[in-house]
Each structure stands twice: as structure tokens, then as C-alpha cells.
Structure 1
Amino acid sequence: MDPRKLGELLGDVRDACGPAYRALADGVRVLVADGRLPSGTRLPAERSLAGVLGVSRITVTHAYRELRANGWADARQGSGTWVRFPDLPDGASGADGAWVPGPARPGVIDLAHAAPAAPDAMPQLVRRAVERLDAELASHGYGPDGLPALRERIAARFTARGLPTEPDRIVVTGGALHAIGTALGTLAGAGDRVLVEHPTYPSALDVITDAGARVVPVALDRDAPEAALPRAARQTAARAAYLMADFQNPTGALLDDDARARLLHRLARQDVVAVVDETFAELDLRTGAVPALPCAAHAPREEDAVTVGGLSKVAWGGLRLGWVRAAAEPAARMRRRLARAQVAPPVLEQLIGVEVLDALDVIRAERARRLRDRRDALVGLLADAFPGWRVVPPEGGVVLWCDLGAPVSSALAAAAPRHGLALAPGSRFGHGRAFDDRLRLPFTHPEPVLAEAVRRLRRVADEVGDPARDGAGAASADGHRAGVVV
């Protein structure tokens, strides 16, 4: 790996509390764990990396030695050192650096991923789906288009939300991420540019890169999406734009109808297809508010917008069921693409999806109530434990985007496992070292677990050195003094 590229990802290890070699080893480990440094990547020569980082060669030597000792690297005489994903204890298995929750590990609280448990109604819905299965078992079970009953319900949900939709516009996928990959893989090819909000959902960056397309991050810190994204489209000749208008991941931002209309019309004038991720659209935590229309309802033409969604957040992550809504021609291309890859979606999961969508109002109400309580509890816990952090409670979704007041997010993520905690550094949601002053924290756990997680997080911050310990964090961009904003 180019030492300069690794240096950009690692930042200044000399600023860390404790030995620089430990900070370097921890930084590499975080990059491997969250997939930004794939297993098998060869690390730069010690002398080259030392020059880029401004540290001694012995510092790099000690860091590489620690990585090897803890299973995060291997070396062979004459071949250098390369990173690896270590074996997990107790025979557990995990994804090699992929951005997915690993297996539950005793004593570890996962605040890196936003994955709620299933709602109370799920066992009954599964039993109903199994009863429906009897009628399907007499056939061969193959259905590349997805079960008609499921596509009808997904289409009906779009129609009820103000976007008239026929079932033939729906493509069933194996989860929302599969839907994102299917849509972007169909719309953009190798070398094509795809606009993304910056920050954004990390796995979306991964699937764009895997498709051979070029990610074009568009900063949203000064201009609203309806201005920034179309301007970037004019400058880059992008083919598509991936965005979240409903409680954006990770910022929680929500676009109103006027902003959605301006955004879709301006992108369409640049011949850019909007790929709109509605993963959090059903997780509106406001009371009495009128939801905005789906973005595609504002598109000048049906082919100007593609909508993706799924049931992982509103229902359960173990239910790998998602969908794409698109115009007739791209929908047909996506179905052909999926049929070649998987032949057909699993029937039982689709039947469960039918039951979930039939009970969606009840499930949404339960989910929203619990998430609202947990969000407010976590905001209060952080206000007490980290008075220098700035946290704006989102109106929906499942995560807080915390302004730490200093670039310590990667250091917190590196030290967290020593305290039974898993964290995702803010930089995982962008490019390079951007957002290392931010931390995304999900409020999907029960309140007692959140309380224990914040206690552990306080110990992590004490270990790495928290410049905002006494509530004296820097002012934010909008002029407010650091501190929790409710």
C-alpha cells in the first residue's frame, strides 16, 4: 500500500495519548476491522511509513510487531508485512472486515452498528408465514420476480404514501444493501461517477467501489443537498446520485417536500438518476407530523428516480428482504440481473415480509415508541457524561451524530475493545480522515444497556484523553457552544 495513502487514513499518531507505536497499531487495527484496509493488504516498508508519519523507524517496527502479536498482521522474510483479520475467540466466525455486525460476543456492547432486535410481534408473524408456506410447497418455488403478494403490498405501501405504484415496478432483493448494489450496478458502470452525500452510509461507498464506479463525495456542511448535489453533478458529469432524504445516515437530516422537489428537478436537468435510500423512512419519531412524500413523487419523469428500501430497521435485520422501485425498463434490467445471480428470492422470507407489511402500522408504532424513549435516554446520558460534546437529537432514524469537539473518534474506536465496547470512528462515514471529530452512536439497545455503554465510553475517553472533559469544547459551525442541544 502507498505509504501516503495509509498516512492519510491514520492521521497524526504523534498526537495520541500514550506511545506513538500503540496509536499506530491501534489505527491500523481499526482500518482493518471496518474494512477500509482489506485483509491481505501489504503494509508499507517501515522506513517509508516512518517518513510519511514523521516518527522513527523503531516506532513503526514496534507497531508492526504488536499487530503480528495480536493476530492483525502476518510477515514472511523477504515478503514484508500484510494485514489480516484475526481469528475470533471461542470458535466464532466473522466477516473479514466487511461493514456488518459480527456475531454477538459475551460482554461486548456493539455501538458500531445500528441493528435493533425484532419487534414483539415477529414470532407470531413468522408462524403465520409458515402456515402460508403450505400453499407454496406444491409448486417449484422459483419466482425471479418475487412473490406477487409481496410486490403488491410493497407497491400498495408506496401508493399509500403518495407515490402511485404498480407491482411490476417493484424488484425484490435480499435486503436494502442488496437493493442499493443492484440499482447502482445497473445504472452505473466501471469508471462512472456516482455522487454521495458526505458523510454517508459506509456500505454504500463499498458497493459503489465494488461496481467499479467512482465515488464523488459532496460535502453538505455549507450548502443544502438540493444545492450541493446538482452543482457537483454539473461539475463531474455523474451518472447517478445516492442519497437519503429521510433521517440521513449518519446525520439524521430530513428533507422537506420543497427541498425534495428542487433536488429531483435539478438532478434530472443534469441527467443524473437519483437513487434514494428509504431504509429509515418508516422510522419517523415525531408525533403528529405529516410525513414528506417519497422523493420519487417529485421526479419530473419516472426514470429520473430509483427508490430502495427494506425491512431490516423497521422489522429485523435477520429478515434479509429489500426492494427497488424503478421505471419499467430499468426494473426489468434489474430483475434480469438478479435472476442471473440468485435465480429467485427465498420464498419463506417473502411470506414473512407479507405478514410484516400487513402489520406494519402496529410494528411501526411499537418501534417508534421504543426508539423515541431510547434516543432521549441516550441524549441525557451523554449530556451528563460528556458535557463538551454537541448532540442534536434527530427526528427519526436510529442514530446520533455526535460532535466531539476534537479529532479523537479513531482513538476512541481503537481503545474501545479494551473496555468491552465496539465503536465506529466518524471517519468510516467519509473519505480519509474526514469526520474524525464525530462519532455515530445508535440508540437501538435497551436503556440499561445504553447506560452501561456510556459508562464504558467514559472510561474509553479517559484512557485516550478527552479534550472536552469539562464541557469546554469548541463552538460548532453554527455558532453554538459545545454541549448537548435538546
Structure 2
Amino acid sequence: MHIQDALGDWSARPGPLYARLSAALAAAIDRGDIPPGTALPPERSLATRLAIGRSTVMHAYARLREAGILETRQGSGSWVTGARRTGTAESPRESLAVAALRNPAALVDLATAALPAHRRLREAVAALGVADAGTAAVLDTPGYHPAGLPALRAALAERLTAQGLPTDAGQVLVTTGDQQALSLLAAHALPDGEPAVVETPTSPGILDVLHGLSVPVRGAPPVTGGGDDLPALVDRIRPGLVYLVPTLGPLGRILGPTDRKRLATALAGRDALVVDDVSQAGLAFEQAPPPLAAYAEPGNLVTVGSLSKLHWGGLRLGWVRGSASLVAALARAKARADLGTPVLDQVLATRLLGIEDEVRAERIAELRDRLAHATGVLTESLPEFRWTPPEGGLSLWLALPAGTATPFCEVAARFGVAVVPGGVLSSRGLTDDHVRVVYARPPEVFDEGVRRLAAAWARYRHAGDDQPVLL
């Protein structure tokens, strides 16, 4: 567990700041979230990450040493007592789920990029029952479909074919969310710890997967900014996996058809498995071009998608489109993990694909209205921040006028609003001069969130980059 995950909403505790921090660390150690022998971050590093003064961390560590919980040696750092010392297992990146849910009752969440269930999904749930012939037929089977419900695989294949990527059902694997799709593909492509290449910034999901596999990760410029150097980088480091988001990545841009063809042709036939994540394609304001695999034949171009972004975050259904042999291999690995994605969810998803055009039209109309509202609110409340209007999706990529996003987001959390520091969307924290803000919230929620964000920014800038920020 990352140390900021383990600390939770530590600054909301009573008492002096150093006492709050030491109490949160002691509680995390007692729970086992920070195991015995774990090396804690250096004082300066933790202070920067938490947007507090170094002396606060020094006093907190001193309290833990007095209690016999922490041991420190000059030149060797500090670690939790009670077991053989190990290297720290924490990463500089914080889990976004934990960051967004530290105190859900008091937090205005502008970090989680997901929508509530659409009206049509609610209607479909209400209609779902054994009286439906299709559902009844599924319930008459044992319910084990490791590669996915045949009807859903066929519907996804038909959908992809209509979008310009000819596909048959045997080329589609249904997964429990796109995160499982990425996990299966990464484990398949990187069995011996080969390096991976991702864009900077990129999806936090793929970084979590690659961090879990402990493989080297190299960053590349966003392909929506040109991506002309990507083939040369692939030739130089020979990665096992290349993960790309040419359709609505963090920057909110979409790679055009001509550039897609050039990129697909350049990467086709390489040893690397090239993963094209189209999970947000349904949220494009204008119809997005076909996936990269539509522009080149070789089987190393793989497409990953999801129903969660368009329909509902709680509908944990994703899919992989690749060669039949790759899908069969991934299905075997998935069967070992969970025997298959829940079948009733897949029955519901099959219905939703039949009305996806209607759902998308309603979503896009709503998102356009909310983007226009958010633009006005941000321009008035945070005029120094800069961003490029997105071509779809749920988020804005805001450039900070000064300072660093990670400590600023810590301050924002103390003011009761969650946003995503850009550093967690980079393999090396190189985009920590930006924050990702979800604009697709009801206007009254967004307004309150920006009010708190503006107050946090005023406090952060008043304190200065290297000074503690107290409430």
C-alpha cells in the first residue's frame, strides 16, 4: 500500500499537525498497512508530498521513535521496528480511488472520471428478470463463459465492425472492466520483465498494472501531439508492450485518421504488443475514427474498450479485441483468475449495446452543456489556470500557473475537494505541473468544488512552494 493511502484523511485529526501525522502513521502500522521492516520515506520527501514543513515530519518521526515504533540510523533512513528491514514498498504515486474517497461525506469529488447510471440502464435493470426469454435461456446454463457470454461477444464484434474494424466473435474477450483487460495483456506481453512504453501523461490504470509487475516503464510524448518519435523509441528499447490512448487520453484529444494510419503502419508487425485503449471513444463529441487495428493487418495491434465510461462506472465490463489465438490465450488466463465475468452483467450489457447510439447522443448533449458551464466557472474563479478545450471525455487537463500539483492536491483535500495531480499520470512524475479535474459533475457540485479549489490555491500560493500549509 502506498503511504498516502495508508495515512488516509490524516490532517483532519485534532491536535498539532505533527501529532496528527504521527498518530496516523502509528495507526497504519498497527493495522498492518505499513508492515514491520518497511522503510519510510525521507523527511524532506514526505514533507513535499504532503505539502507540510519538514520539521513537522521530523517531530512526527521523533514521536514514533520515542514510542519504539520507528528506528532511525544516520545515513540509513528510518524504518518500522519489529522485523528485518526491507526496502520501502510504497510508490510516489497514490491510488486514485483512495485519494478520491478519503472522506466521501465531506469531499467534493472532481477526481473520479465516471458517470452515474444512465436512465436507459436503470430501465434495463428494472426490466431484467427470468420472464425475459434471453435471460431465462442464460439462467438455464451453468453460467461459465471464461471468454464471455457468446451473445455479448457477437454484439461487440458487430459494433466494432460497424465502426470500421472488421471483427468476429472469436476475436473478442469479455473482461471484468478494462483494468482486468490491461492486467491480462501486460502479464501476457511481459512474462520476463521486459520494458513497457506508455505515453506521458497516460491512464493511471496501466501505471498501476505495470507497477504491480515491477517492469521498467519508459515514457513517450502523447501520440495526439504527433508521436513521430515513438517507432524509433520502440526500436531502441524493444519493449514487450506499448500502451497508447489516441482517443481521449488525459489531454482530451483525438488522433485524426491520417495520423492513425501512419502510426499503425509504423508499429504493425513489431515484436511489441501495441494496445490501443478506446474506453472513452463513446464520449467523443464527434464520432471518433476507428481503432488503430483498422489501419493495419498484423496481429500485434490490440484494442481494449469498456462499457463503464459511457453507461455507468458500476458496470464493470471491458473487452479485448485481438487475434483469435491471443484471445484464446487470454481467456485461459482469465479462467484461472475468475472463471469468467458475471453473466447477468453481460446480459444487461448486450441489451445496452442495442441502444448505445441513443445513450451516446444523450450523454454528449449533457457533457457539452456541462463543459460550457465549467469553462465559465473556471475562467472566473481560477483565471490563472490554462487548458485546451477537450474533444470529449469527462475531464479537463489544467496547467498550474506555478508550483507543483502533488502538494497542491494535498492542500485541496484539506479544503474538501479531490482532484488528480498530473504526476500520478506519468511513469516518472513528469507532468506534475498539471491537475486533472472532472467537469462532468452537476453544476451545483462543480461550482462548490471549484470554490474550494480556488480557496486551496490561494492558501497554497500564499504559503509558497517550500513552506508548510496549515489550516
TM over 0.5: yes
Q: d(CA) in 2 for partners of 1:298 and 1:355?
A: 29
Q: Is the 8 A contact 1:190 1:212 kept in 2?
A: no
SS in structure 2 at match of 1:112: coil
Q: d(CA) in 2 for partners of 1:199 and 1:340?
A: 32
In the TM superposition, residue 451 of structure 1 has moved relative to its aligned partner by: 0.9
Q: d(CA) in 1 for partners of 2:44 and 2:277?
A: 44
In the TM superposition, residue 58 of structure 1 has moved relative to its aligned partner by: 4.6
Q: d(CA) in 2 for partners of 1:400 and 1:222?
A: 16
- Residue matched to 1:452: 448
- Residue matched to 2:12: none
Q: Deviations over 1:148-179 (max 9, x none)?
A: 11011100110010111000100010001111
Q: d(CA) in 2 for partners of 1:56 and 1:364?
A: 48
Q: Residue 146 and residue 191 in structure 1: after superposition, are their counterparts in 2 closer, same or farther (change >3 A)? A: same
In the TM superposition, residue 300 of structure 1 has moved relative to its aligned partner by: 3.3
State the TM-score, normalized to the length of structure 1. 0.77
In the TM superposition, residue 433 of structure 1 has moved relative to its aligned partner by: 3.9
Q: Residue 104 and residue 224 in structure 1: after superposition, are their counterparts in 2 closer, same or farther (change >3 A)? A: same
- Residue matched to 1:421: 417
- Residue matched to 2:267: 267
In the TM superposition, residue 467 of structure 1 has moved relative to its aligned partner by: 11
Q: Deviations over 1:236-294 (max 9, x none)?
A: 0112210111111x1112101111111111122543321011111111113xxx53122
- Residue matched to 1:371: 367
Instruction: Show the 5 A alignment for 1:47-58.
Output: 58=55
- Residue matched to 1:280: 280
- Residue matched to 2:190: 188
Q: Is the 8 A contact 1:175 1:323 kept in 2?
A: yes
Tell me whether 267-276 or 156-165 shows the greater mean CA deviation: 267-276
In the TM superposition, residue 428 of structure 1 has moved relative to its aligned partner by: 0.9
Unaligned runs of 5+ in 2: 4-16, 73-77, 82-92, 465-471
The code of the aligned residue for 2:58 comes to: T
Q: d(CA) in 2 for partners of 1:257 and 1:247?
A: 14
The code of the aligned residue for 2:332 comes to: R
Give the one of 290, 295, 305 matched to 2:292.
295
Q: d(CA) in 1 for partners of 2:60 and 2:169?
A: 56
The answer on 1:144 being equivalent to 2:146 is yes
| RMSD over aligned Cα atoms | 3.3
The code of the aligned residue for 1:294 comes to: P
The code of the aligned residue for 1:210 comes to: G
In the TM superposition, residue 107 of structure 1 has moved relative to its aligned partner by: 2.8
The answer on 1:62 being equivalent to 2:62 is no
In the TM superposition, residue 466 of structure 1 has moved relative to its aligned partner by: 6.6
Q: d(CA) in 1 for partners of 2:224 and 2:153?
A: 40
Q: Is the 8 A contact 1:75 1:81 kept in 2?
A: no
> What is the aligned-residue identity percentage?
34
In the TM superposition, residue 347 of structure 1 has moved relative to its aligned partner by: 0.9
- Residue matched to 1:118: 117
Q: d(CA) in 2 for partners of 1:416 and 1:231?
A: 40
Q: d(CA) in 2 for partners of 1:393 and 1:156?
A: 32
SS in structure 1 at match of 2:282: coil
Q: Residue 339 and residue 433 in structure 1: after superposition, are their counterparts in 2 closer, same or farther (change >3 A)? A: closer
Q: d(CA) in 2 for partners of 1:111 and 1:312?
A: 18
The code of the aligned residue for 2:218 comes to: V
SS in structure 1 at match of 2:229: helix
Q: Deviations over 1:290-349 (max 9, x none)?
A: 531221101232x12111111111001111111000101111100111011111211111
- Residue matched to 2:242: 241
Q: Deviations over 1:180-228 (max 9, x none)?
A: 1112221222321111001111121111222343211113499622x12
Instruction: Show the 5 A alignment for 1:380-459.
Output: 380-459=376-455
Q: Is the 8 A contact 1:220 1:228 kept in 2?
A: no
- Residue matched to 2:257: 257
Give the one of 196, 213, 216 matched to 1:214.
216
Q: d(CA) in 2 for partners of 1:281 and 1:268?
A: 22
Q: Residue 129 and residue 306 in structure 1: after superposition, are their counterparts in 2 closer, same or farther (change >3 A)? A: farther
Q: Is the 8 A contact 1:189 1:213 kept in 2?
A: no
- Residue matched to 1:76: 69
Equivalent residue pairs, number: 413
SS in structure 1 at match of 2:309: coil
The code of the aligned residue for 1:123 comes to: R
Tell me whether 162-171 or 216-225 shows the greater mean CA deviation: 216-225
The code of the aligned residue for 2:369 comes to: D
Q: d(CA) in 1 for partners of 2:211 and 2:440?
A: 29
In the TM superposition, residue 350 of structure 1 has moved relative to its aligned partner by: 0.5
SS in structure 2 at match of 1:390: coil
Tell me whether 212-221 or 172-181 shows the greater mean CA deviation: 212-221
Q: d(CA) in 2 for partners of 1:442 and 1:151?
A: 31
Q: d(CA) in 2 for partners of 1:171 and 1:360?
A: 19
The code of the aligned residue for 2:263 comes to: L
Q: d(CA) in 2 for partners of 1:185 and 1:221?
A: 24
SS in structure 1 at match of 2:310: coil
- Residue matched to 2:13: none
Q: Deviations over 1:361-417 (max 9, x none)?
A: 111111111111111211211111111111111011111001112233122211122
Give the one of 153, 156, 164 matched to 1:154.
156
- Residue matched to 1:166: 168
Instruction: Show the 5 A alignment for 1:306-385.
Output: 306-385=302-381
Q: Deviations over 1:403-440 (max 9, x none)?
A: 11223312221112222211221111113442221010
The code of the aligned residue for 1:338 comes to: K
Q: Is the 8 A contact 1:180 1:277 kept in 2?
A: no
